[in-house]
Structure 1
Amino acid sequence: MSEHKQDYVAEKEFVDEKFDVERSSVILEEEENSPIPEVAAIVSNQDDPSLPVMTFRFWVMGVIFSLFLSFINQFFWFRTNPMTIGTLVIQLVAYPIGVFMAKVLPAGRLNPGPFNIKEHVLIALTANCAGGTAYAVDIIVIQRVFYKQDFGFLANLLLILTTQMLGYGMAGVLRRYLVYPAAMIWPSNLVQVALFNTLHKDEDLAPGQWTRYKFFLVAILGMFLYAWIPGVLFPALTAFAWICWIKPTNLVLSQITGAGGLGIGVISFDWNTITAFLSSPLITPWWAQVNIAVGFALLTWVLVPICYYTNVWNAKHFPIFSAGLFLENGNTYQTLSILTPDKVLDEAKYEAYGPLRLSVFFALTYGIGFAGLASMVTHTWLYHRHKLVAQWKQSREHSEDIHHKLMQAYPEVPDWWYASLFVIMTVVAVITCEVWDYKLPWWGVLLAVFLSAFFCLPIGLIQAVTNQQPGLNIITEYVIGYILPGRPIANVTFKTLGYISMAQGLMFVGDLKLGHYMKVPPRAMFWAQLLGTVIASVINLVTANWLLATQKGICTPENPNFECKSAATFYSASVIWGVISPNKMFGPSSIYNSINYFFIIGFLLPIPFYFLRKRFPNTWVEFIHIPVLLAATGMMPPASPFMYPNWVALGFVFQFYVRRYHPNWHLRFTYVLSAAFDSGTAFMVLLSFFIFDFRDKAMVPWWGTDVSCPLQSKSYIPATPLPKEA
């Protein structure tokens, strides 16, 4: 067996039984196919280059769905329990509309034949680029809400555009390593490919058996009706802390079992709450959910209680779980009191006011983030170094599988298209930061872009195999915090340029891989991605400005429906890394200095598991993935601990039990059910907003609307004020 084939066999051993695919849904029509079984079972090995793609139907639906998704997802981002409408929903909704348009429009240029699968894919790709909320919106929110600063619409729009589009240049380079090679399977794309194939072929149904589309419509209606119960009528069901209610006056019981504490025993009956900060448990592979569950439990239910109740870092002065900022005596840290008028740290005021303190949970999550980033480097080297060399050779020889050969029928996007866009966006970013005084100099912008480009390939390798993406947010804010201390807006701008450029680049790469599987012309994909990104940038900003102007107390506890937990955590990070700086927070003189040892722990941790896997092949040891395990708590805060057990419970039902014991039902309906749950819940939340929040009305109060355990809002005892020398 050749070395190239051995690489694919090794990859097959790693991914086997980790991703859901319709293994028998495609009857192969040629002998040549992908060497990856999952891909061979799902992706067609034939193509029809004559199918029209950028049709009138594409432009109409691509624009409308991009407008819809960018508004809806940005709107929900501000909600206390946010949610995201994913591309699966657009896939399902676009199909009957496309078929209808093909029937009613006059034949000709506006209607060039039946609605085809490539049009459908391109519509979904456009909507996907518009579906994510722009990370730079966080900068705008904390400037206006917390720092009382506003640079205006033009500055905000340019910042969003540059941070959202810088990744295109990286995607252009990474095509050779993360799109063309067959081993880079991008498992989340297989779900979409399966759904596209399902919608565009006749289903072989038994008598009385439902189609997937009928199932989708019924499930949407069912979830829409059900979601009113925990969402409006009986909010206590969103976080049913039944153990805490046994003795709500008990401080320790409230800390351990309260929904605002560690959440042990809390049951949630609300799909929106369970999936608010996590991906759908009906889609995430079970092996990955187990890694996430183990990482969550070790941190939240083992390490945090040990540190808190042994009073590490004076932990008992603060809540056991909080993303808040505190003084040494447990009172809230008033950041504006230590800043100059132009929002830079005033050292004299800081010395007089006192150091910043964190909850033990918040401090430990930074340590786990350090470990996760270091483990990613080690894991990539141990598991993927040979593949990197092989792919480098393959990229020069262009010797790939059947799908790459079929794509040769279409003109590739010239490298200079990507390069030009990359250079233009970099220049605009520099001009934006200089003209509007973000306190980030031109070389800071270039350094952020360099960090993003450096980490893009190794992180892309992990995501292409595991469907998990470790973030760069911690390392970027750490680096610039040392270089430019005391500048919060410069810190978050650098973080956004460094982190989101990479994340956007990999999103574009993932979409390019989907187009690669579906044989969509590369140039059509390029323009479709640009279209969705530009639409989203404008609509995200307009939606944010509307909510900031109309919602009183938005992004604060004064508005319980729009607390913007992500923005609140983003603000806390801006203070920790930007105002105070990592040297003061984690340097040699800080009580949190030991957090730096997590870098070493994370770097070493994958090594023993790598050798265990070699010692015990084809066992459960193969499924241990340290970067995924350490990234488990990356969304806490703002995610609450009680969300994780409920998330894993649903994952066990569908990704383990149903998949194992009812495989046919699982392959037909699980992913459709996930999309229906998202859609039904979203429609309910949006309608309830205009019925209640928009009209400043509320549900009639009764005991079911009291969702809190009495102590969980302040489940700690503040210390007495400490003397200055302490």
Structure 2
Amino acid sequence: MRAYKEVPSFWYLSILAVSILIGLICCYQQKTGLPWWAFLLAVLLAWILTIFFACMYGIVGFYYQPTSAVQMIGAYMVPRRPVANMMFTLYGSNALVQAIQMLGDLKLAQYAKLPPRATFLAQILGTCAGSVFNWVMMNSIVDNRRDILLSVQGTNIWSGQNVQTYNSQAVAWGGTANEIFGRHGTYWMVPMGLFFGIFAPMQFWIGHKYFPHLRLNYINTFLICTWLGWLSVGINSSLLAYFVFGFFSQGYLRRYKPALFAKWNNICAAAIAGGCSLIIFILTFAVAGGSGKARDFPQWWGNNMDGNVDRCKYLNGT
């Protein structure tokens, strides 16, 4: 890697300056109600959080998007403005995820011994192309699947759950945070969850200190609670692939085939992630009806077209 030229710092600073300028223009042009000082504080918050979450992601390969915490801060800074709260969360929370993903790409490129400047150029081109494709897909899907996206359950393919949740939280935190989550509000215990979460891992830390033979230090409450929360989000059978690949890669290859793991794990992970994104894009328009006409796959056990894809008895009406 020393044979390659490093990316100058002013390249990244230039991207930051242009991005902040575009963000400010969008906030005022779209009349979001988010003042310039709150926007800059959201960017600063994302920068501070990135330092800690990126370190954690580099060590354990896992991070969490602190959306609720950022929304609480936004509700305090810009009260009774749902759209402004949504924009504050976007720049304070989603920017964190984008930064961590960029750092992950840089780390993968270093492992693959790619030139840093070529990696930077690929990231910029990919971001520009991806933003255009995302914009086209979003408009096409919303126009052709609006009724399904607004429904409560959705279908085996389409669900507006994430967007509806994002919008509902913006209304709750940005519009009526004091009445709902305040000291005398109905759900005042929700923000207290951030405080109570500190005590979740302490019991295992204390137990491991006095009973080290129980190996309680292997219990990661952060991972467990995060994925338990995902059980309430849409279709859950897709999580099976996480466990299959995880046990095979980290449980078998890393332990019994370390040379094979070191050589191919990162490359295969990048290939799976890239292939997954590509096939989702193709299936969205060619099969799932993102462009207007759907072409369903044949009915079989793994593709329950007549009911819930997770085979949930409650949703199937049994």
TM-score strictly above 0.5: yes
Instruction: Give 3-state SS (helix, strand or coil) of 1:471's partner.
Output: coil
In the superposition, relative to structure 1, how do residues 680 and 440 fare at CA in structure 2: closer, same or farther (>3 Å)? closer
Alignment partner of 2:147 out of 553, 570, 590 = 553
> How far did residue 509 of structure 1 move?
1.4
1:680–1:446 CA distance, 2 compared to 1 (3 A): closer
Equivalent residue for 1:712? 315
State the distance in 1 between where 2:234 and 2:305 align.
21
Q: By how many angstroms is 1:625 displaced? A: 2.2
TM superposition shift of 1:628: 2.1
CA distance in structure 1 between the partners assigned to 2:112 and 2:278 by the alignment: 29
Q: Which residue in 2 is equivalent to 1:369?
A: none
Deviations 1:355-406 (A, max 9, x none): xxxxxxxxxxxxxxxxxxxxxxxxxxxxxxxxxxxxxxxxxxxxxxxxxxxx
The one-letter amino acid paired with 2:49 is: F
Q: What are the ranges of 5 or more consecutive residues in structure 1 without an aligned counterpart?
A: 1-406, 716-726
- 2:113 counterpart residue number: 519
Partner Cα distance (1:520, 1:642) in 2: 36
Q: Give the direction of change, closer, same or farther, for the CA distance of 1:634–1:413 in structure 2 (3 Å limit).
A: farther
The reply to whether residue 629 of structure 1 matches residue 229 of structure 2 is no
Conserved? CA contact 2:85–2:174, under 8 Å: yes
Cα 1:653–1:535 change in 2 (3 A) is: closer
C-alpha displacement at 1:626, in angstroms? 3.0
**Greater C-alpha radius of gyration:** 1
Query: Partner letter of residue 450 of structure 1?
Result: L
Change (3 A) 1:669 1:490: same
Find the counterpart in structure 1 of residue 36 from structure 2. Answer: 442
**1:653 to partner: Cα distance:** 6.4
Structure 1 residue matching 2:230: 3-state secondary structure: coil
Provide, for residues 329-377 of structure 1, a one-character-per-residue CA deviation record: whole Å limited to 9, x for no partner. xxxxxxxxxxxxxxxxxxxxxxxxxxxxxxxxxxxxxxxxxxxxxxxxx
In 1, the alpha carbon distance for the partners of 2:33 and 2:317 equals 36
- Structure 2 length-normalised TM: 0.77
Q: Superposition pairs for residues 613-624 of structure 1, below 5 Å?
A: 613=208, 620-624=215-219
Find the counterpart in structure 2 of residue 695 from structure 1. 293
Name the aligned partner's letter for residue 120 of structure 2.
Answer: F
Task: Point out where structure 2 has 5 or more consecutive residues left out of the alignment.
Answer: none
Separation in 1 of the partners of 2:95 and 2:121? Answer: 18
Letter paired with 2:162? S
Answer 1 or 2: higher relative contact order, Cα 8 Å, separation at least 6.
1
- CA drift of 1:607 comes to 3.8
Structure having the higher helix fraction is 2
Local SS of the residue matching 1:476 = helix
Alpha-carbon distance, 1:697 to partner: 6.9
Which of 171, 195, 199 is matched with 1:600 structurally? Answer: 195
Q: 1:107 corresponds to which residue?
A: none
Residue 685 of structure 1 and its aligned partner are, at CA, apart by 6.6
Question: In the alignment, is residue 459 of structure 1 matched against residue 28 of structure 2?
Answer: no
Aligned to 1:501: 95
What is the number of equivalent residue pairs in this alignment?
A: 304
Aligned twin of 1:96: none
Alignment check: 8 A CA contact 2:109 2:116 kept: yes
1:573 matched residue in structure 2: 169
TM-superposition CA deviations, 1:550-596 (whole Å, max 9, x none): 33525122963432322122222222222322x22211111211233
Q: Distance in 1 between matches of 2:46 and 2:30?
A: 23
Residues 528 and 428 from structure 1, CA distance in 2 versus in 1: closer, same or farther, beyond 3 angstroms? same
Deviations 1:121-178 (A, max 9, x none): xxxxxxxxxxxxxxxxxxxxxxxxxxxxxxxxxxxxxxxxxxxxxxxxxxxxxxxxxx
| 1:675 corresponding residue in structure 2 | 272
Measured after TM superposition, the shift of residue 487 of structure 1 is 1.9
| Aligned with residue 182 of structure 2, among 587, 607, 628 | 587
Assess, with a 3 A threshold, how the Cα gap between structure 1 residues 614 and 409 changes in structure 2: closer, same or farther.
Answer: farther
SS of residue paired to 1:409: coil
Q: Which amino acid aligns with 1:623?
A: Y
Secondary structure at the residue paired with 2:87? helix
Q: Which amino acid aligns with 1:517?
A: Y
| AA aligned opposite 1:570 | Y
Against the structure 1 CA distance between its residues 546 and 615, is the aligned structure 2 distance closer, same or farther, given a 3 Å change threshold? same
Q: 1:688 to 1:478 in 2, by over 3 A?
A: same
Distance, in Å, in 1 between the alignment partners of 2:31 and 2:277 is 41
Q: 1:564 aligns with which of 146, 152, 160?
A: 160
Deviations 1:272-320 (A, max 9, x none): xxxxxxxxxxxxxxxxxxxxxxxxxxxxxxxxxxxxxxxxxxxxxxxxx
In 1, the alpha carbon distance for the partners of 2:14 and 2:32 equals 25
The Cα offsets for residues 427-479 of structure 1, whole Å up to 9 and x where unpaired, read as 22122212221111101101101111111111111111111111121111111
Residue 697 and residue 519 in structure 1: after superposition, are their counterparts in 2 closer, same or farther (change >3 A)?
Answer: closer
Query: Residues 556 and 584 (structure 1 numbering): CA distance in 2 closer, same or farther, change over 3 Å?
Result: same
Q: Deviations over 1:62-82 (max 9, x none)?
A: xxxxxxxxxxxxxxxxxxxxx
**What is the Cα-based RMSD across aligned positions, in Å?**
3.9
710 and 517 in structure 1: CA distance in 2 versus 1, 3 angstrom threshold? closer
Instruction: Give me the whole-angstrom Cα distance separating, in 1, the residues matched to 2:78 and 2:243.
Output: 44
1:100-111 aligned at under 5 Å gives the runs none
Helix, strand or coil at the partner of 1:408: coil
Cα separation, 1, equivalents of 2:123 and 2:298: 45
Matches within 5 A, 1:370-519: 407-519=1-113
State the alpha-carbon separation in 2 of the partners of residues 661 and 452 from structure 1: 36
1:656 CA drift (Å): 7.8
Sequence identity (%): 25
1:124 alignment partner in structure 2: none
C-alpha separation in 1, matches of 2:5 and 2:255? 46
CA 672–516 in structure 1, closer or farther in 2 if over 3 Å, else same:
closer
Residues 84 and 174 of structure 2 are in contact (CA less than 8 Å); yes or no, is this contact kept in structure 1? yes
